[in-house]
Amino acid sequence: MANESRIDPWSSDQSTDYGRIIEQFGLGTVDPNDLPNPGMLHRRGIVFAHRDLDVVVGCIERSEAFGVLTGLMPSGRMHLGHSMVIEQAKWFQQQGADITVTVADLEALATRGTSLTKGRETAIQEYVHNYAAMGLEPSSTNVYFQSSRPAVQRLAFSLGRRTNLSEFEAIYGFAGETNLAHVQAPLVQVGDIVHPQMDEYGGLRPIVVPVGVDQDPHIRLTRDITQKTNWFNVKPRKSGGLTVALSVQDDNSAEFGVTANGSIDRGARDSLFNRMESGLRDIGFSDIHGNPKHGTMDVPGATQSDRYKIRSLMLGMERSMGGMGLMPPCSTYHRFAVGMNGGKMSSSKPETTIFMDDGIEEMSKKVKRALSGGQPTVEEHRRLGGDTSKDVAYQYLQFFFENDDKILEDVRRDYQSGRLLAGDIKQICIDSASEWLIELKDKRDQWEGRLDEFLAPDAI
C-alpha cells in the first residue's frame, strides 16, 4: 500500500509527517488546554499525540494513583534526544505519578551484544545519573533491570501466548530473516510496560508511557495483548450507554459458568451476574440490565466518560477471580528534535546532537556549525528574515534550552523579522545551552555516590 507507512522502532529513517501518523494509527491529539499545569513540551506542541491520556488526566484531577513507565537502552551516551521522555516523566511525577524506569539490559544483550555488567554500569553512570540531575524525585522513582526482575520475564512468556508471528510481521515488518532477538525484545518490553500494574509493583492503576512516535508499535502490541487477556470488555452500547461483555477464555470458563461441553451452568452464571450488578450499583449505577445467557450487561445511563470507572471495576473483579486484570497502557508521543545538521539526531554521529556531558566548547562548536535558517547575505536576511522552521539553534531553544515562552516568542519575532541575524540566534542558543549544561553538571556532581536512592530493591 503506497500510502501506508510503517513506523519502525529499528529503522534509521524517521517519518516526521506527524499529521499522517496521527490519522493512520488513530492517535489522539494533545491540547495543552486540557492539561493541568501544561509543561513546556505540551505548550509548544512538541508532545503532540497520545493514547488514552484522558484517563491519566482524570487521575490527576481526582488525585488518584497512576504511574509512568519509561525505559532506556543502556548503550552509548545520553544526549538531548533522550532527555525528552525524562522531561515528560518529571512533569507526570509533579502531577502525582510514581515512576518506573526499565533498564533494558536484556534487550541490549540480545540486540547489541552488550554484556549485563557493562549495561549496568552504563545505565547507572550515564542514564540514571542524568535523570537524577534533570530532577526526577528519588522517593517515587524505581529503576530496575530486566535481567533481575523475573516477574517481567514471566509476563513476557505468558503474554507471548496472546500474539503470533503474523502479528509481528504486520506491526514490525518482520520476515524470515529477522533475528530472534528482535522477537524476544518486544515481548520483554510488553512485560516491562504492564508489570507496574501487578499488586507487588503498585497495583491496578493507569500506566502512561511517554515515547517518541517511532516506539508506537510497542505500545500497540502491548495494548492489543492486554485487551486480549481481559475477562470483561466494556464497550459502547448500540442504543446508548455502555455494555459489559464477558470474554470467555480457558482460564475463566469455570468462573464464567461455562461447562466442559460448552453449555451454561445457570447457577454459576447467575451468581457472577449478581456480583457484577452489585459492583455496578456500588459505583453509582442503578439502571442495569443483565442478559446472563448472552453474557452481557447493559448500563444505558453510563456515558463514555464512565468507561474508565466501569473498566477499573471489572478489572478489579477479574483479579479477585484469579485473572490478571490488565489495563492497556496510555501513551504520549513527542516530535523528534532535528539533528544539528538538519538530518536525524544519532548517538553514533556526535556532530548531530549535544550530549549531556558535552563541554561548553564542544557544544558551542556544534551550534556554530549547525544548520541555519538565515539568508545568504545580511542584506537579504534583514529584508526576508530568518526561517525558524529550519534553524537548529532556534529549535533547540524551543525544545530544550529556553523555558520562558515570552523570551522564546521575542526571539522568534526578532529572528523572523530579520532583526536578529543567524549568528545572533546561535549565540543566544549557546548562552542558554551553556547555562543548561553547567547546571546539569552541578546537579550530577551533587548526586555522585547517591544514585542508589533511585534503584529498586531488586536493582541494588
* CA-derived radius of gyration, the chain: 25
CA 458 to chain centre: 23
The DSSP line for 215-246 is GHHHHHHHHHHHHHH-SEEEEE-TTSSEEEEE
The nearest distance, CB 107 to ligand TRP, in angstroms, is: 5
CB of 41 to ligand TRP, least distance (A): 17
H or E element at residue 59? helix 53-62
Would you say 155 or 397 has its CB closer to ligand TRP?
Answer: 155
The C-alpha atoms of residue 2 and residue 60 are separated, in whole angstroms, by 41
Q: How many CB atoms lie within 10 A of CB 417?
A: 12
Nearer to ligand TRP, 214 or 298 (CB): 214
Q: Which residues bind ligand TRP (CB under 6 A)?
A: 69-71, 73, 102, 104, 107, 189, 192-193, 209, 211
We find the least distance from the C-beta atom of residue 440 to ligand TRP, in angstroms, to be 21
Contact between 215 and 73 (Cβ < 8 Å): no
Q: Which residue is nearest to ligand TRP (CB)?
A: 71
CB-nearer residue toward ligand TRP: 85 or 297:
85
Element (H, E) at 298: strand 296-299
Angle formed by the axes of helices 422-447 and 360-369, to 10°?
150
CA 128 from chain centre, in angstroms, equals: 18
| DSSP class per residue in 352-385 | GS-BTT--HHHHHHHHHHS-----SSHHHHHHH-
Residue with smaller CB distance to ligand TRP, 214 or 402 = 214
CB 163 within 8 A of CB 221: yes
Long-range CB contact pairs, 255-258, < 8 A, 24+? 255/321, 255/322, 256/231, 256/295, 257/292
Report in angstroms how near the CB of residue 460 gets to ligand TRP at its nearest: 20
- Rounded least distance, CB 103 to ligand TRP, Å: 8
How far apart are CB 209 and ligand TRP at their closest, in Å? Answer: 5
Nearer to ligand TRP, 2 or 180 (CB): 180
Between residues 93 and 252, which has the closer beta carbon with respect to ligand TRP? 93
Closest approach of Cβ 8 to ligand TRP, in Å?
Answer: 12
Which is closer to ligand TRP, CB of 27 or CB of 211? 211
